Amino acid sequence: MAKATKKQALGRGLSALLKETADVNSVEDKNADKLVGNIIELDIKSIAVNPFQPRTYFDEEALHELANSIKTLGVIQPITVRKLEGNTFQLVSGERRFRASKLIGNKTIPAYIRLADDQEMLEMAIVENIQRKNLDPIEVALSYQRLIDEIKLTQEELSFRVGKKRSTVTNYLRLLKLDPIIQTGMRDNFISMGHGRALINIDSTTDQLNVYEKILRDKLSVRQTEELVKNIKSGTIDKATKKKALPKYISEGAAVIKDYFGNKVDITVNKNGKGKIAISFNSEEDFNRIKNLLK
């Protein structure tokens, strides 16, 4: 006969259950089996956010979409929490579901209960998020670094814990050597991890940034970037993809144009003095605002 699964604790018995399990701090404690490993509808106010959360950015639009889904269908997959003192809990995973539920005013949320110390909490939170969420490459790299620094894992041990090849772990960690501006560009999806991996091979931070700007300006693919970096390394082209200084009249004029339109302005000029002015816009509304300024 198949082993019966533990039932979700809901309804009128919840207060009594939490009273019985308030002093549970380990699996050996009395009534621990009524709490640990069960899914319980918890008061949202009793749950603290996870200080070890590797995700640092939550897309507001996606969060509202999830909130609308929860409003219609409920929380389909319970969050995971660990028990603290008394009847308080802390998120292990599921912060998007937690935030979305609060957004629509839900008072309770289904939660899978676990017991864990801070080190286990950190590891569970990071590993679960890496495996289940679409973290950006820098968030993944920072998560790997935290596991190495705070849990004292080797790269070999880390690769085993997260189920990735050691070479994959190494490639992510190397991204943290990039200039913070480039890391931010990767987090904002201006460039991909492939671009970042190519840029790592450039030793000079200044040259890294120059190539990064060229990627954005010329919309270089990863393959084109790799070729450019290869040429720089071999000396085929001057290390400075270094930008030539713009004439004074252009650099001063660019600031005036930028202030007028309130948007980023890119100006390129060739050796004959001919050039282009590119004005960035963020939305249809922003485009129409710029268009009206040109009338």
Whether residue 23 is contained in a domain is answered as: yes
By C-alpha distance, which of 292, 267, 295 is closest to 280? 267
The confidence score (pLDDT) of residue 26 equals 56
Q: Are strands 89-93 and 79-83 parallel, antiparallel or unpaired?
A: antiparallel
The confidence score (pLDDT) of residue 239 equals 47
Q: Label residue 85 by pLDDT band (50, 70, 90).
A: confident
Same domain, 51 and 105: yes
Q: Label residue 153 by pLDDT band (50, 70, 90).
A: confident
Q: Name the residue with higher pLDDT: 5 or 127.
A: 127
Same domain, 218 and 269: no
Q: Give the Cα separation of 267 and 264 in Å (integer).
A: 10
Whether residue 278 is contained in a domain is answered as: yes
Residues 80, 92: contact at Cβ < 8 Å? yes
Per-residue pLDDT tens over the stretch 89-124: 888 888 889 999 999 999 999 988 887 666 676 677
Q: Name the residue with higher pLDDT: 255 or 144.
A: 144
Q: Label residue 77 by pLDDT band (50, 70, 90).
A: confident
Q: Label residue 52 by pLDDT band (50, 70, 90).
A: low
The confidence score (pLDDT) of residue 18 equals 62
Neighbours of 258 (CB within 10 A): 16
Lowest mean pLDDT: which of 145-154, 238-247, 259-268? 238-247
What range defines the domain where residue 190 resides? 182-243
The residue from 60, 82, 117 where one domain ends is: 117
Q: Name the residue with higher pLDDT: 272 or 166.
A: 166
Per-residue pLDDT tens over the stretch 206-261: 888 889 999 998 889 999 999 999 888 887 655 444 455 567 777 778 778 877 87
Same domain, 222 and 276: no
Average pLDDT for residues 4-33, to the nearest whole number?
A: 54
Q: Label residue 11 by pLDDT band (50, 70, 90).
A: very low
Whether residue 193 is contained in a domain is answered as: yes
Letter string b/e over residues 35-68, b meaning 16 or more CB atoms within 10 A of that residue's CB: bbebbbbbeeebbeebebbbbeeeeeeeeeebbe
The residue from 70, 91, 117 where one domain ends is: 117
Same domain, 20 and 105: yes
Same domain, 259 and 186: no
Average pLDDT for residues 47-57, to the nearest whole number?
A: 70
Average pLDDT for residues 68-85, to the nearest whole number?
A: 87
Same domain, 76 and 108: yes
Neighbours of 228 (CB within 10 A): 21
| Tokens describing residue 67 | 């909130």
The confidence score (pLDDT) of residue 7 equals 44
Whether residue 48 is contained in a domain is answered as: yes
Whether residue 289 is contained in a domain is answered as: yes
Per-residue pLDDT tens over the stretch 163-199: 889 999 999 999 999 998 899 889 888 999 999 999 9
Same domain, 220 and 254: no
Residues identified as active-site: 95
Whether residue 141 is contained in a domain is answered as: no
Domain count, the chain: 3
Same domain, 112 and 210: no
Same domain, 198 and 270: no
Residues 241, 206: contact at Cβ < 8 Å? no
Q: pLDDT > 70: what percent of the chain?
A: 76
Same domain, 113 and 18: yes
Q: Name the residue with higher pLDDT: 156 or 263.
A: 156
Same domain, 21 and 113: yes
By C-alpha distance, which of 140, 145, 90, 157 is closest to 118? 90
3-state secondary structure of 262: coil
Whether residue 158 is contained in a domain is answered as: no
pTM for the predicted model, two decimal places? 0.50
Residue 142: burial class (beta carbons within 10 Å; 0-12, 13-18, 19+): buried
Per-residue pLDDT tens over the stretch 158-172: 888 888 899 999 999
Whether residue 224 is contained in a domain is answered as: yes
DSSP labels, 32-72: HHHHTT-EEEEEGGGEE--TT-------HHHHHHHHHHHHH
The residue from 117, 143, 173 where one domain ends is: 117
Same domain, 262 and 206: no
